[in-house]
Structure 1
């Protein structure tokens, strides 16, 4: 099973030993961020720094001025990693250490875009905007995301890409000083709070057979008992139907599914066109439940694997989590990469990686992804090295 570890360019740039340490883990590939959202990240082994603060979503390479000329929506360049092109510098060092490189491209997750262009954001049933979540139904947003995918994915020294957030983002969001946990929202309530009511989505719901005003009122009615009580732990599509009513729920999914599938098809075509040659692999971070939102976007498994070369699926957690994620893709043709968190401090379990990988393989996984080699502690990486040695010998 080919194994790739997620890494930021700042984990490598300025650290002459970084690429060699990564190769020594026993991985064959690195998934290197080329377009990423805002974050604050540790660099526990870097010789010159310990904290990187990426203040806004940005590209980690110099964007092509000609490509973006005249466009209101365009990528923001980064300022927190030294050098003109930190992605290229890191990719070259990784290649010199014998590692393949995939680009890691975050698309529909950009708080600065929403702050500077409020009309691009998802608008919930109460009229609140989610600046971190661009509405992918809006033509200008869609055009921007497709162009970004094509540019950020196909960087020099890169043999493939992994597109994150290539679909709907919604209510759930890791946010500084977050204060949203007072009322617990399960999967179904979060879906209702993720429905967008911008002008394009209102028109779209009508095309799917639902009056937008009726839908908005239904969302608010359904959520009133949730706000008045202790929240709602309902999960799964059946729970969405119970909250909203099956007819309205199905209409929302028809519209949103159509928009997401179209974006994914168009973005993958754009990346392949930019690659201008065979062999460039295009994977999407995904969840097999079509109504899910976020970094791992909800997809229809057969459709996605007829569009992209494969998927990256979150697999950290109990066996039932892996089975729910990997199971719907089993038997379909394409790369099935099981993504394991190996950072103990972030809920990962590097000590069980060998057993977890074997279980994932039994469910059809063909590759492994490890999140995240730059953030992990020394003991975590030692555990990864041991596990990969066991996997290679089995």
Structure 2
């Protein structure tokens, strides 16, 4: 199975040994960040630093002049990834024999929300989510579509992976998060993700809903959850709390906005890219889910993109809905965390890869070559060696309690 490791430019630039070290893992490809959100990251082997603080969402290459007069535009990185940091790292990685694909973060930017508060998701209580641009707003959609094309199609890149190309909600961290005190479950997360900015209020009206009445209904539905009565029944719970017709109308609005944005972004990338350029989306097959792995309809997204990158840190079950709609040439990449300090399990990677293959996965993604310890990387090397052994690769061990991470 083709395997790619996620990498930041700062993992490579200034560390002459990094490209060969990554290639020695046994991976075929790197997925290299070209546009990324704010983060604080370890660099455990870098000769010049051990911590990188990316202060805001930025692009890691010189943005085009066409952004100059735009209200919404990407920002260059600070000293954590100056100039064409992406291009420098990409050249070094390619020199080590690795294919390079871009890694593009889209609808997740605290700086965008801080500078332009009107672009943010607004929940039913009137709270803004500055890290979550509302993807229903025309100006935001235009910005994200153009950013996708520019950040994806960098010189030498053979493909891209588009992350956060859909609705964002409460989850996936913001600064020093203190939001886990109440277990909202999938239903509560959906209700807290419903946006009430002017564009979405108009959209609900187009679906026959009164936005003020909907906001009241959402607050009332959430009230028992705040008291600890979380019901993690997923979408049926949302239908029970809001009523089936209202719940369906919210989905009609939100699903339509997400689908058309995904179509537009992929089309923009293809228009800017050379022939054969691969376009993948980080995706979750539960369409109402929000976050970095955008909730999608598997049949639809696989009719738009070349494939998907599927989160498998909690097990491989999410691969199945995509596999049911895969074509012969569909890329179905199983994404495993291999940083043990972040809950990953590099020691079970060979078995996990075999299980993923049995469920239809065609490729592997490893998160994250730059963040992992030496011990984790050694385990990855051994796992990929074992996974390339036909006797191991052809066997998919049964799922056990210890291997469902």
- Partner SS state of residue 275, structure 2: coil
- Partner SS state of residue 160, structure 2: strand
The residue aligned with 2:25 is: 25
Partners of 2:76 and 2:82 within 8 A in 1: no
Partners of 2:30 and 2:100 within 8 A in 1: yes
Task: Please say if 1:252 is aligned against 2:250.
Answer: yes
The residue aligned with 2:223 is: 224
Q: Matched residues in 2 for 1:8 and 1:136: separation?
A: 26
Task: Please say if 1:41 is aligned against 2:34.
Answer: no
Partners of 1:52 and 1:80 within 8 A in 2: no
Structure 1 residue 237, shift from structure 2 partner: 1.3
- Partner SS state of residue 232, structure 1: coil
Between the two proteins, the alignment pairs up a number of residues equal to 387
**What residue ranges of structure 1 are gaps of 5+ in the alignment?**
none
**Match among 322, 337, 358 for residue 316 of structure 2:** 322
Structure 1 residue 80, shift from structure 2 partner: 2.5
Task: Please say if 1:357 is aligned against 2:381.
Answer: no
Structure 1 residue 16, shift from structure 2 partner: 0.4
Q: Matched residues in 2 for 1:330 and 1:73: separation?
A: 37
The residue aligned with 2:365 is: 369
The residue aligned with 2:394 is: none
The residue aligned with 1:269 is: 267
**What residue ranges of structure 2 are gaps of 5+ in the alignment?**
391-405
Which digits, 9 at most, give the CA deviation of each residue in 1:167-201, with x for residues without a partner? 10011131222222222211110100000001110
**Match among 367, 381, 387 for residue 385 of structure 1:** 381
Partners of 2:187 and 2:235 within 8 A in 1: yes
Q: CA RMSD for the aligned pairs? A: 1.0
The 1:82/1:299 distance shift into structure 2, 3 A limit, reads: closer
- Partner SS state of residue 22, structure 1: helix
The 1:102/1:235 distance shift into structure 2, 3 A limit, reads: farther
Structure 1 residue 158, shift from structure 2 partner: 0.5
Structure 1 residue 376, shift from structure 2 partner: 0.3
Partners of 2:172 and 2:292 within 8 A in 1: no
Structure 2 length normalisation: TM-score?
0.94
The residue aligned with 1:55 is: 55
- Partner SS state of residue 388, structure 2: helix
Structure 1 residue 345, shift from structure 2 partner: 0.1
My pick for the range that moved more, 173-182 or 19-28, is 173-182
The residue aligned with 1:151 is: 150
Structure 1 residue 231, shift from structure 2 partner: 4.7
My pick for the range that moved more, 72-81 or 125-134, is 72-81
**Match among 292, 295, 300 for residue 297 of structure 2:** 300
Structure 1 residue 219, shift from structure 2 partner: 0.2
My pick for the range that moved more, 79-88 or 286-295, is 79-88
Structure 1 residue 30, shift from structure 2 partner: 0.1
Task: Please say if 1:180 is aligned against 2:174.
Answer: no
Partners of 1:53 and 1:80 within 8 A in 2: no
The residue aligned with 1:215 is: 214
The 1:43/1:235 distance shift into structure 2, 3 A limit, reads: farther
The residue aligned with 1:278 is: 275
